[in-house]
Amino acid sequence: MKSSFSEIIKDSTPVLVDFHADWCGPCKVMAPILKEAKTSLGDAVKIIKIDVDKNEALATKYQVKGVPTLILFKNGEQLWRQSGVIQKDEIIKIIKTHS
């Protein structure tokens, strides 16, 4: 069963949303970093990827002007956001801060 975006971000587990695009070079750099962060954090975080070209309404709703943009949600609330490439240790630190 496919959950809606609004249902997913209401989770009590932090949800890191990666707004990305297929044509974006920095997004390609970000993908393995997010995979490593997920491996390190396990079930402490959910990481989902949103293609801005296929989900323009969501990108507009969250005012995503550049990709990659990472937004951390918990219980439906936006806790943190940043655009650009972010290193794994920084991502882990941010997620642990908001867990």
CATH code of domain 12-97: 3.40.30.10
Q: Where are the chain's structural domains?
A: 12-97
Tokens 């936006």 belong to 78
Name the average pLDDT for the chain.
95
Average pLDDT over residues 1-9: 82
Q: Is 11 left (phi over 0), alpha (psi -120 to 50) or beta?
A: beta
Angstrom distance (rounded) from CA 31 to CA 15: 16
Angstrom distance (rounded) from CA 17 to CA 39: 16
pLDDT in tens, 25-72: 999 999 999 999 999 999 999 999 999 999 999 999 999 999 999 999
Burial (CB count <10 Å: 0-12, 13-18, 19+), residue 39? exposed
Model confidence at 1: pLDDT above 60: no
* Residues with active-site annotation: 24, 27
What is this structure's pTM?
0.95
